[in-house]
Structure 1
């Protein structure tokens, strides 16, 4: 994948990763921690679901980025559809994603052309996945266990900061709030490194004035809004609230991560990344589809990302 595309939304990705890591750290070795991990595993194992996702990034109280998405997944049919809206600076863009005949189809809101991803993201990729399911599942199981062990290794004895309370119909609310010295030193060190790395990549790899993905979506305004922290970077606050329903699935999860630091000019920034995730249609979701008959279709070779391979 093109390096610039991979860096799109780095601030959101870094923030979300640190949010989850820090939240896990705050819930270690407690019943709340165990309940939350079990709910995540139960939710991930669902055959299908609909995810309503809202992500916001603020800097010193000013809104920088807003992402709203509805994602529908079905493991049995290996189908996914998504409606995504991205707002950064003064620009707002939309992107629709569909699975059609084992291929991924994308359409930006300002175009009537449907991009069909080929190469690894196309039918050959899905075919290889199907043949290698057992091996892939084994590798992912190992990865998940190692990741869980890594998170646990970063954790101190912070179980007193998590609360778990029953609600109605067997549901429960899990909450954790960490600030300042409550956040493990190892997590903060990792967070500082990732944020600085993100800022470095912004400067080194994204100097062009226009940054368009192979789908034709222009993210240049988005990348310009993100602060580039390089000094005194630290995670200063983590809040998470999750609702687990009576069947053990996460129904809703709200979280926020506060990162403070200074840019190269010495200007102080307080960046707040907030994530609101709602899950519904568990084991009863059918992703949306699109009929490409009569539509303008453009094939994109994902191995090159240099532009369309052909058009018909």
Structure 2
């Protein structure tokens, strides 16, 4: 899997996403058409990273099972390479009625995240301006170079399935499609694998909604369209694939994945910082002195009550525990666990427990991913609080809420032995 999670559909856009989409229909390209499109993707990635002053990227995703919509998502990302600011807004809707909304803003002085679960803005402020890369050229990544070689090999000698139209204004239109009989076995295997691996990145709810396709898996149909403007920038790329297969009961499923990516408002995008007047705010500050950075004084035990609302009253049903075992100049290691009262044992069946050993970044913070199961991955941020001796252990709250239906607060207090 690509190290940079921005490549995946869950949904931060990079042009790596476009390349992943193209794996579903790179097969339809003649050598000339495929090479032209690939070069346009690579040039666009480089331009977004280095040359364009600002731009907007919008990614739309739809997943269907036998024509029933399981999931839809729209994500809009605005980049300003001059000011160093980015703005992110996304909305995901699942067929079980759950909606996930994520908004964030970042510049050289601060990061702001909106937590729709408790209607709170989480603000992290830096003492000095940061040097930061707005948009990474994903083709500079060594793993992406390997992915490119795999895609090139998969295309093989497939020809005559693409229409490349040169418009009068200098732009190009690419389109094509393939049915199952036209798709080589290697391409089918790679596309099926990529399709199944992409599903978990659509969100934790897909683990419950997505049928477990196990037998007779093949790509039934792929289609693709792309538009490259006169300046060589990829403005629009669309990919659609139908994967057919049977679940463990023998029931047949046709799973349709559609992805549309647009780049627009080039050099006319305005990134807007959220107006926090009158809002609920949780504020964190970068430590300004080296001796305030995390050290071994944070080794110890931290806890947080697990609370539910029962009979119109708040009721404690257990505790979340974090034990920090070791801290050195590079790493923090410890363990997260949960305990529940005996009378609330039904909540314990999904309890989490995991160890972590993560790198401390230059801001004295840590971030890591943890796989809960085959379909669910959480992202954890740890911030050590200098004035209270507590820690801020932030597990993606929308993930926690949609998966477990239990309120989660990111603040953990130190447990002192008497």
Q: Which TM bucket (shorter chain)? A: 0.7 to 0.9
Deviations 1:163-215 (A, max 9, x none): 1012342222101212213223223223344556678x89xxxxxxxxxxxxx
Shift of 1:262: 1.3
- Work out whether residues 30 and 160 of structure 2, in 8 Å CA contact, stay in contact via their aligned partners in 1: no
For structure 2, the 5+ residue unaligned runs are 285-364, 369-379, 382-392, 395-409, 414-418
Q: Is 1:231 equivalent to 2:215 in the alignment?
A: yes
RMSD: 3.8
Shift of 1:61: 0.6
Q: After superposition, where does 1:146-225 map in structure 2 within 5 Å?
A: 146-194=146-194, 221-225=205-209
Q: Which has the higher strand share?
A: 2
For structure 1, the 5+ residue unaligned runs are 203-218
Shift of 1:227: 2.0
- Work out whether residues 23 and 151 of structure 2, in 8 Å CA contact, stay in contact via their aligned partners in 1: yes
SS in 2 for 1:265: coil
Shift of 1:259: 0.7
Shift of 1:138: 10
User: 1: distance between equivalents of 2:209 and 2:37?
Assistant: 34
Partner of 2:99: 92
Q: Is 1:285 equivalent to 2:285 in the alignment?
A: no
User: 2: distance between equivalents of 1:309 and 1:101?
Assistant: 25
User: 2: distance between equivalents of 1:259 and 1:177?
Assistant: 14
User: 1: distance between equivalents of 2:170 and 2:137?
Assistant: 31
User: 1: distance between equivalents of 2:30 and 2:166?
Assistant: 19
SS in 2 for 1:146: helix
Structure with bigger RCO (C-alpha 8 Å, 6+ apart):
1
Shift of 1:56: 0.4
Q: After superposition, where does 1:1-312 map in structure 2 within 5 Å?
A: 19-30=21-32, 32-44=33-45, 45-46=47-48, 47=52, 48-89=54-95, 90-116=97-123, 127=130, 140=140, 142-194=142-194, 221-292=205-276, 295-298=279-282, 302-303=367-368, 304-305=380-381, 306-307=393-394, 308-309=410-411
